[in-house]
Structure 1
Amino acid sequence: MTTTLAKGGNTVVPTAVCRVTLTSPTTGIDVSAVLLGQDGKVRSDDDLVFYNHPSQDGIELDGQTVVADLTAVPTTVDRIAVVASIDPELHATHFDASNTPHAVIECGNARVTFVPLPLEDGETVAVLVELYRRAGSWKARAVGQGWDTGLAGLASDFGIVVDDPGPSAVKASSGSAPTKARQMPTAPPPPVHAPRVSPAAAPVPPTTPVRPLGPLGKVALTKAGQATITMRKEDPSLVVTATLEWNGGSASRRRAGADLDLYALYVPRRLVTPSGKRPDKTDQAVYYRELGSPAAPPYIALDGDSRVPGRETITIRRPDLQGYVLLCAYSAVENGTGSFKSYGARAVVTDGRGSTITVPLFNNRNLSYWVAIALIDFTVPGGAQIRHVEKYSGNHVEARPTLYSNGNFRMSTGRVEFKTR
């Protein structure tokens, strides 16, 4: 049965699991969801579900579809707004009559469609539909509300603070203390009167103070933590090593398979995009099929392919020539399902001069084949910054992450890998 809603219309959601799919007739869009309390505000920055944070409290992003398991949504969440925004990688700068997105809601055998009135006032982001609680059950409402101030305007209305000027930092404004920053999806530059969302990666409050001189010592990062190795990047003899270690977890986990692969996606210093410029996608990686070289560009090399529990190590030389290195892990298809945490996996980064940073994996997502573990930023003055990012791919997605020339990255958008034993 198919029902068509007009703007402002609503209908009862008949089943516990709903799929909300947004599409545009003529342009690419990014889809996200925002979990809101009764005050219409987010509880924390974790309530923004998008490509770099694809699941939260029963809400999961699967490409352009938001899958809502309404039985798993906490009672502190009153409604879920499903959002479409212009894909910043494409030429479209705003929505218009030709590309205004549509929504389809599927709940069991019920199908609800919503075709909003054309967005023709320069909107770059819009809430298409929302799922909301009413009298002990869930309903869906057709919204069709857009913002010509882009994601900054939407974020402000929902209680997410976007710092301006400078790189975008997303925090929840409802609590007494700032929460950890989360990199938001970016949109084309809004009009000059509007707040601007910068494409640069959001800063993360440091868990470890930056030391101006000497080794950092041994540091274990907490979730979303960062630390800075102070080193002279102009010293060509300096070598940074990044090791993926895993013990295979339990005996049953090891029997099922425990083949992990370490990847280093990288941007050389000469290709780093200056602040304010549109970044480029990069497809450069060192991994088991491209072992790299320690003596020639990219001066990044993998020591080999371990197909059993153990370790794989990448060496990064000539830090003066490096821009960004994103450390990722891939779980071979024949491992079956199982979270990276269940493998006992962690990354260890050291400069060989007394600074060692351990990056553990905390999440128990058991259907993700990819995890982005840590970003090494060689562009910061005076050292290299190690950021714990821990972002996971969508369920059963074989596409690796995409690293951009400004240090941002997106999950599940890169080259497809399919490794079997």
Structure 2
Amino acid sequence: MTPGSNVPLSVPRVAVDVAASSARLDVSGLLLTGDGKVRSDDDFVFYNQPQGPGVSHRSGGGSGPDSITVDTAAVPAGIEKVVVTASLDGGGPFAGTTPTATVRSADDGSVIATFTPTGLGPETALVVVEVYRRGGAWKVRAVGQGYANGLGGIASDFGVNVEEPAAPAAPAPAAAFAPPPAPGLPSAPPPSGAPAAYLPPPPSAPPAAPPAPAPGAGKVNLDKGRVNLRKNETVSLVKAGKPFLSSVRMGLGWEPAFGGRDIDLDASVIAYGPQRNHIATCYFGKLSILNGAVQHSGDNLTGAGSGDDETITVHLGGLPPEVTGLVFTVNSYSGQKFNKVAKAYCRLLDAGTGEELVRFDLTGSEPRTGVLMAKLIKQFSGEWEMTAMGDFIDSRTAKGMVRPASAAL
């Protein structure tokens, strides 16, 4: 297909795969009415909201392309078209990348049409194709329209409201981690209907007194924009009560203390299961884990230069379901202590748009060689929460952080 051309659909259910040989793509679909707008945010189908009326999202899982399936018989009567969009996993422009959309029968996989937009440059998101109805029949049209302001720009253009006032806060759902049983006592079975990760205290164990809140303890959200966290403070990665992130990037930076020499610090992320069991570690020696769902930018040996020294991108929707916690750590591989480090920070960005969401500036460094910077924990609701940590450990390597990080979840 060429831009603007269309092909009639001979089957009621079609799947649109979008792939690029040189990069992984995030794909989404928007259901639009005759005025070119969504009816509500429920018409935005993507990683964190994979089901819509007549439209669904399927993850490629790191080994294949993401796909949007349109069941034309189930699309509501008021919807005139479904647009399929793509952006680079991890953000950045499409320059040098050649995405291809393949429209297939969702039932037998036969190819109906293909479309490859060309001449891409600074665009960070694309409307690739649209599946639309005309005169009672359904067709697919090649579009290839680029946006310079990422998937957020497309969503806003089509009426997705990410700035609406937040709904009243509901009680925070339990995190998807099981508290360890009391030493020497077996854990009781969960009550009927309880989540599998729920382990109530043994009947003989006296109830523990609630701990005193630590400095900065509390929970905030992103409804008003970027958040500056204090130690032990938590931010919910939702906006207006709905998950809105499919990929996040953790940037970590540092500088030598005044008059000090260059310092080789290493950023890592450690993945855990619901029983605090270690699953995998992403670090300078293993730059990609969990089928590409977590990717490291590579080793920075000095900390020289402004901005992030090392980054780790996490494709939240691509994480295996058994991953319920991530801990971001920094170690001094050369053995210098953190009191010789200045301006250490971590920040969380929307990997699709590059927008900075959360920042935690580490102060009060200690003469130790490792620090637990922050943790991401998946709630039973499916939402992710980030908590600033700033806990110092004696370890020069990520391997030595696995046990203390597990205990801190």
TM-score band, normalised by the shorter chain? Answer: 0.3 to 0.5
Q: Please report the TM-score for the alignment, with normalisation by the length of structure 2.
A: 0.46
Q: Please report the TM-score for the alignment, with normalisation by the length of structure 1.
A: 0.45
Bigger Cα Rg? 2
